[in-house]
Chains A and B, each alone.
Chain A
């Protein structure tokens, strides 16, 4: 199985900050990497697919990059509605494992 790690596990930030979350796969997954946002009591929401494609309706402040084993999710200017937990997921080979999550909270 492909193991996914994320760093940091949590971070505190302020509105307007630039936030970067890193995801690493235990083996190459080419660009088959997705990013989700989850808020308490809600279903995950797809933000980024195929490493860098922004899902329709997702604000342009969200962007993704990377390939192979190392990936990044960037929020260019954090907004109040962005405080949530973010997960990466590999879609290269089953099981389509998720990273452990990164919780973004208020500084």
Chain B
């Protein structure tokens, strides 16, 4: 059974960079059938798609985040990572990592439990 687990600081100061890592266990990340995604849920709001990365290292991200997003992947460690720069209080959210299909309708079938990141001084 595939499992994903987010890790990283729960508190980040405004203007700094949020960094999260997702560790995948119970399976391999090397298949080209999937992309590895980040999604967040701000308190009182709906889900927001942040972006995804392929095993090739290619990425797509949400331009509404104004190019503050960078992602990386290390299949040898079964990990992928998110960096979000110049954070503000609006970036406070529960952040999820997920495995999503790179075909069909891009649906995400395995998710991490989520990690709360608060942006505050």
Which A residues have a C-beta under 8 Å from some C-beta of B? 1, 31-34, 36, 38, 42-46, 49-51, 55, 87, 89-92, 94-101
Q: Is the CB of A46 within 8 A of B105?
A: no
Alpha-carbon distance between A46 and B52 when the two chains are bound, in angstroms: 17
Q: What DSSP secondary structure best describes chain A's contact surface?
A: loop
Q: What DSSP secondary structure best describes chain B's contact surface?
A: strand
Q: Is the CB of A43 within 8 A of B114?
A: yes
Q: Is the CB of A34 within 8 A of B105?
A: yes
Q: Is the CB of A87 within 8 A of B46?
A: yes
Task: Using C-beta atoms within 8 Å of the partner chain, give the interface range for chain B.
Answer: 20 to 34
Known: A32-B105, A38-B47. 20 other contacts (CB 8 A): A1-B63, A31-B105, A34-B107, A36-B47, A36-B108, A43-B96, A43-B98, A44-B108, A46-B107, A50-B105, A55-B107, A87-B47, A89-B49, A90-B105, A91-B101, A92-B105, A94-B51, A94-B62, A97-B49, A98-B46
